[in-house]
A and B are shown apart, each in its own frame.
Chain A
Amino acid sequence: ELKVEQNPLFLSMQEGKNYTIYCNYSTTSDRLYWYRQDPGKSLESLFVLLSNGAVKQEGRLMASLDTKARLSTLHITAAVHDLSATYFCAVEREGTYKYIFGTGTRLKVLA
């Protein structure tokens, strides 16, 4: 059974600091997705990572994928308050189009 674990579950950080959210998964996959959800809102797709070593960046967020380690990271650089949200990773069971989500990381950036 494919399991996806995120850590930390909660993260409170100061503006201007850097931090990393980790997403571990338990079986072979080379498809990983990151999403953002603002409180009371819907989901927004952030990144699609499709191969080992894939790296994508958008603004202060950078995501990477290591399929050998079954690990993806979402790195936050010089955090700002607007990044406060819950971040989810999801893994596609290889070749199935079925997605398993992590538990989410609730990020709070303090001014």
Chain B
Amino acid sequence: DSGVTQTPKHLITATGQRVTLRCSPRSGDLSVYWYQQSLDQGLQFLIQYYNGEERAKGNILERFSAQQFPDLHSELNLSSLELGDSALYFCASSASGTSTDTQYFGPGTRLTVL
């Protein structure tokens, strides 16, 4: 158990809908990362937050947004969902969000868009 929690574990929804994925980092970690893993695109880095501020943005679509709250949990919002958004979404946390940090991954949320 990495100490990173993600909810829900599974989510099934329809095209055009909006969903919110939640991530709670390990106790004491200030940085949260979001990743997408799909058969088509492989593993992709989406976005990183550090202590409530966006630090880096990767291949995140404009339909997707994220934020990190004062209690350091993070939410990833996916809107106008398309079939191709079906994937595993992982979050990870690290202590200070620097390149030297080890990232600890949550169990993931499996999103299915029908």
Contact = CB atoms under 8 A, between A and B. Distances in A.
B108 interface: yes
B100 A50 contact: yes
Interface in B1-58: 2, 35, 42-45, 48, 55-58
Contact of B108 (A42, A90, A92): A42
Interface string A95-109: 011111101100000
Contacts of A101: 42-45
Is chain B's interface secondary structure helix, strand, loop, or mixed overall?
strand
A90 B105 CA distance: 15
A12 to B, nearest CB: 21
A25 interface: no
A103 B42 contact: yes
Nearest to A100: B45
Which secondary structure dominates where chain A touches chain B?
Answer: strand
B105 A42 contact: yes
Interface residues on A, range: 10 to 19
A4 to B, nearest CB: 10
Interface in B60-114: 90, 92, 97, 99-108
B58 A98 contact: yes
Given A97-B48, A101-B43, A43 B90 contact: yes
Given A99-B45, A100-B45, A50 B102 contact: no
Contact of B99 (A45, A88, A92): A92
Interface of B: 2, 35, 42-45, 48, 55-58, 90, 92, 97, 99-108
